[in-house]
Amino acid sequence: MFCEAYQERLKDAACGGGLEEDARAHLASCAACAATLAEEQALFAAIDNGVARIVNSEAPPSLLPRVREAVVRKRVAPRGFLHGWLWIPAAATVALVIALFLPRGDRHGVLPPVQSVQQPPFGAQTPAAPFRASAPSLIQMPAQKTRRGTSAHSVPVEVLVSTQEDAGLKQYAAVLRTRRDLAKALISSSASSSMEIQPLEIASMEWPELSIKPLAEDKNGFAK
């Protein structure tokens, strides 16, 4: 036990704090305080060793392979401004733009007309649910020339397809990837059976004879 007058200062000194001149002088003259200080310092050393032993444990060798494996499996969240809650206003803006401009563009003929309507061919991999004939299955946007003369296909074209058709197209592509012979046969058949484009026939316009008749006048001389 430290002497009352020096207790706090000697405790701080044991903990690693500095010791003032008068406390040092007291320590030199008081054997009890010197012994207590030695005990306290030993206790602090034991605490430091114990904490270091607890803290500096080696990571098991299985940790890093586990993390690497999990990292490979997981996709990285893309860097960009649309993270967190920001996608909500962004999606709302996109929806608003679509709602505002899509019907207007359609009315005034801004959007290009639907050029072709195709249904992906299905063989044995036809899905159970049949396609409805009423709705278009695939809308292809026509290639358009820009002012600079470059094709509009140089920029990515986005089309809307149904989920069924999307799945069907993916299935079709997968079949073609595995069945190279089938793909070659399809390409060669499409190449051989070249589409015959009928020449345009422009029908002559019939202009009826115009007859000009004078307007009848009332008694004041105005046209009726």
Partner 1 sequence: MRELVLVQPQHTASLARANSAEEALRQEFEALLPESGRLAYRIARSILRNDADAEDVAQEALLRAFRRFAGLRDRMRFRAWLVRIAYRIAIDRVRARKRLQQREAQWFQERERLASGGGRSTGDFPAQLEAAIEDLPEKLKLVLLLSAMEGHTTEEVAALLDIPAGTVKSRLFFARKELAEKLQCFAKPIKNA
User: Minimum Å distance from CB 107 to partner 1?
Assistant: 21
Query: Cβ neighbours of residue 107 under 8 Å, at least 6 residues apart?
Result: none
Compare residues 49 and 190 and give the one whose CB is closer to partner 1.
49
User: Minimum Å distance from CB 123 to partner 1?
Assistant: 22
Q: Assess 160 for contact with partner 1 (CB under 8 A).
A: yes
CA distance 161 to 136: 9
Compare residues 24 and 66 and give the one whose CB is closer to partner 1.
66
Q: Assess 162 for contact with partner 1 (CB under 8 A).
A: yes
Q: How many residues bind partner 1 (CB under 8 A)?
A: 55
Compare residues 25 and 157 and give the one whose CB is closer to partner 1.
157
Compare residues 88 and 185 and give the one whose CB is closer to partner 1.
88
Contact 37, 13 (CB under 8 A): yes
Cα three-residue angle 58-61-65, rounded to 5 degrees: 135
Residues between 16 and 55 that touch partner 1 (CB under 8 A): 16-17, 38-40, 42-44, 46-48, 50-55
Note the residue count of the chain.
Answer: 224
One residue of 4, 21, 58, 196 binding partner 1 per CB under 8 A: 58
User: Minimum Å distance from CB 64 to partner 1?
Assistant: 5
CA distance 119 to 132: 10
| 86-98 per-residue burial string, b: 16 or more CB within 10 A, e: under 16 | eeeeeeeeeeeee
Contact 13, 19 (CB under 8 A): yes
What are the φ and ψ backbone dihedral angles of 113, each rounded to 5 degrees? -70, 160
Q: Assess 205 for contact with partner 1 (CB under 8 A).
A: no
Q: Which stretch binds partner 1 (CB under 8 A): 68-76, 111-119, 192-200, 206-214?
A: 68-76
Residues between 139 and 158 that touch partner 1 (CB under 8 A): 153, 156-158
Read off the tokens for 147: 């002012």
Q: What is the dihedral of CA 163, 165, 170, 173, to 10 degrees?
A: -170
**Can you name the residues that pair with 223 across neighbouring β-strands?**
217
Q: Assess 94 for contact with partner 1 (CB under 8 A).
A: no
The amino acid that residue 113 corresponds to is P
Q: Assess 68 for contact with partner 1 (CB under 8 A).
A: yes
Interface with partner 1 (CB under 8 A): 11-12, 14-17, 38-40, 42-44, 46-48, 50-60, 62-64, 66-68, 70-72, 74-79, 83, 132, 135, 153, 156-164, 166
